[in-house]
Amino acid sequence: MLFTSNLVAVALAAAGVGARSVDIARQATPTVYLAGDSTMAKGASPIDGWGQYLGKYLTVPVVNKAIGGRSARSFSNEGRFTEIEKLVAKGDIVVIEFGHNDGGSPNSASDNARSDCPGSGSETCVSGKTGETVYTFNYYIEKAAKSYIAKGASVIISSQTPNNLWEGGKYSDGASRFVDYAAKAAKNVGTGASFVDHFRAAAKLYLKLGNTKTNAIYPKDHTHTSPEGADLTAQAFAQAVSVDFNGTTPLKQYIKSPAPSVW
């Protein structure tokens, strides 16, 4: 998509269009980049991630950079946030969503390289396995978000999707601490960042679906959904954006009409 945009810009420049107009042309069709874990990433049957379906509900292209098994820490340490930073251009939008793999403590000798340091501020830990300094969920998320905003992109920090809230046949919508951490991260970053409570939006979806239908979209475990479930989860996110569930985000103008209505 960036290659196509650059060709358009070059063509406009060759036609005598001014630099400002070329810059506007580049922004006319932003790209949405996704950073997350397996609940967002492309999956393998019988499961899939919601990031694979978001593009159905947008008027702009989506590049899904989510990778299974990652946390904010491991996504950062593997250079994946940096990879997206190299791709984003002015006007692009990056959606960041982690939490499923971020729990635990890195202090033990069996540190899994995913657990963030407990807390949501400037706390640090030392990995009991590698000796590396480990930072908090918020540190990794906020650092990445600021790097994208510095390039002229906008960032949506999204709370993690729920596990099966009907597991065991009784509805329970208790959220992990990373849902509140995501909201705090967006607030801390400030200008250029917004928050979408994907957890609460999907929770409303599951309540509407009920016990039987919700359990049907979890074919493997209580975390990963079927393709149908992933599509519904993408719709829940798009609906949250379209109705300003947590305030207006820059993605709202790119939601296809009619917007999804699943909760």
Enumerate the active-site residues: 38, 221, 224
Q: In whole angstroms, give the CA distance from residue 72 to residue 52.
A: 20
DSSP 8-class letter at 58: B
Which residues, other chains included, contact 75 with Cβ-Cβ below 8 Å and sequence gap of 6+? 35, 67, 81, 98, 140
Residue 34: phi, psi to the nearest 5? -115, 130
CA angle 127, 74, 197 (to 5 degrees): 115
Place of tokens 């919508």: 173
Q: What is the largest CA-CA distance in the chain?
A: 66
Return d(Cα 214, Cα 233) in angstroms, integer. 11
Residue 124 neighbours by CB distance under 10 Å: 11
The amino acid sitting at 109 is A
Length of the chain as a residue count: 263
Alpha carbons 43 and 215: distance in angstroms, whole number = 18
Q: For the packed helices 19-28 and 2-14, what is the interaxial angle rounded to 10 degrees?
A: 150
Cβ–Cβ < 8 Å for 93, 33: yes
